[in-house]
Amino acid sequence: MLFNTILLDQAPEATPGGGMSSILMIVALIAIFYFFMIRPQQKRQKEIRKFREGLGKGDSVVTAGGIYGKIREISDTYFIIEIADGVRIRVDKGSVYPSANDANQANQENNAK
């Protein structure tokens, strides 16, 4: 017990302003996470939402499950996609992405600008 008291008695004094530097480091880490992780993800989600709003009949798409097809009907919450002649499926709007060909063309157009 006496040994613990001696060790605690000899603990170094806190440096003035030490708490402020810790707070600044935490703020810096939060800023780094925001600019390198959160903001790009929000940007991607905004682009996907914009893409989905701009879809029309006849556009080629890929579902989240990897099914390629063309949009034949549009509803408020789903698309009717034709995946083969006479084969149509109903897919939620949230699980539709641009087809690989369309995505490549869009990237090439954006790079050319």
DSSP 8-class letter at 94: G
Distances (CA, A) of 13 to 8, 16, 42, 83: 11, 9, 45, 72
The 3-state DSSP composition of the chain as helix, strand, coil percent (nearest 5) reads 55, 25, 25
**Is residue 77 one of the residues assigned to a domain?**
yes
50 shares its domain with 23: yes
62 shares its domain with 43: no
86 shares its domain with 38: no
Question: Could you list the residue range(s) of the whole structural domain that residue 42 is in?
Answer: 18-54
71 shares its domain with 30: no
Write out pLDDT tens, residues 53-104.
888 898 888 888 888 889 999 988 899 999 999 999 999 988 888 766 665 5
* Domains in the chain, number: 2
Residue 89's CATH number: 2.30.30
82 shares its domain with 40: no
Instruction: Report yes or no on whether pTM surpasses 0.85.
Output: no
CA distance 107 to 105: 5
